[in-house]
Amino acid sequence: MSIPLSEVSLHGHTVSYRMAGRGPALVLLHGIAGSSEMWEELIPTLAEHFTVIAPDLLGHGKSSKPPAEYSMGAYASSVRDLLTVVGHTRVTLVGHSLGGGVAMQFCYQFPEMSERLVLVSSGGLGREVHPILRLAAVPGAEWVLPKLCSASLRKFVDGGAKIAGRLGLRTATDLREVWRSYVSLFDADARQAFIYTVRTAVDIGGQRATALDRLYLASQIPTLIIWGAQDRMIPVQHGRDAHAAIEGSQLEVFSDAGHFPQLESPLRFISVLEAFMRATKPARLTAARLGEFVRLHGAPAPVVN
């Protein structure tokens, strides 16, 4: 069943989203150069028990691609504004890759709206990231990328498999999704948004947008981490380290999956997600309670004379 796109105007920009079902709200956030289309095959099943909201983040998919701020904080605020417009103020965040970073930032900025957190092959949990994203952060990449997206090169590359294979990607799903992301960059505005986003999160040394110093806050909200053991974009060790750092979190590693475990093993993904939703109670955080937790966690050690 195809889930149609809806549109809403936020601050003068069009934000597209897919929405279906009823029940507790699940917000599905895609990765860089992706869109809500990635979740389309999962939405009908999830919509049997949940209200599913899957936006095209600003600069992606059918949403506007203005020369604007593309930071984690700006993305989180945009998601908050969309949820307010469609009438949902308490949600479970499910974020893949870049979307995982946005989900963590959302929980940090808007704790009173955050019931649960699900991180899927998430960014923001360590420096290591595939070289292709580090290269996109290099000065001058904005001049090279249009040449890499020329029509002649697109015809030359056979279905994307050759170029993606050379990137070290091996699973068929990773190959397909990286190719889909590459094709999306043939649009000049999408390329610009891609460059802005990459440079916010990544430098030549790897990821610099990080939640590592605030991961302890996630212990205040039920957290599920899902990763593919064969992930070549962001190593599975990031998931294991995050699990160790977040008290009470749950980790599920899909042994045969790459960077897109939700697409390679959709039935298992849905089963794990639904079991997590059933087994956990939604968090009831307030900004004041979170602020007190931050204050206590950051309190200086007592001075011993």
Reduced to 3 states (helix: H, G, I; strand: E, B; else coil), residue 262 is helix
Beta bridge partners of 100: none
Q: Please calculate the CA angle 37-282-244 and round it to the nearest 5 degrees.
A: 80
How many Cβ atoms from other residues are within 10 Å of residue 139's Cβ? 8
Catalytic residue flag (residue 97): yes
How many Cβ atoms from other residues are within 10 Å of residue 50's Cβ? 21
Residues 6 or more apart whose CB falls under 8 angstroms from that of 25 comprise 50, 51, 52, 53, 83, 88, 90, 91, 92
Best CA proximity match to 157, nearest among 143, 175, 144, 172: 175
Catalytic residue among 78, 97, 122, 249: 97
According to DSSP, the β-strands at 5-10 and 13-20 are: antiparallel
Catalytic residue among 60, 130, 238, 259: 259
Catalytic residue among 231, 243, 249, 265: 231
Reduced to 3 states (helix: H, G, I; strand: E, B; else coil), residue 149 is coil
Contact yes or no for 102/34 (Cβ under 8 A): no
Catalytic residue flag (residue 30): no
Residues 6 or more apart whose CB falls under 8 angstroms from that of 108 comprise 76, 211, 214, 217
Residues 6 or more apart whose CB falls under 8 angstroms from that of 107 comprise 93, 114, 117, 217, 218, 221
What are the structure tokens assigned to 109, written together?
A: 């900025």
Catalytic residue flag (residue 81): no
According to DSSP, the β-strands at 91-96 and 25-29 are: parallel
Catalytic residues: 97, 231, 259
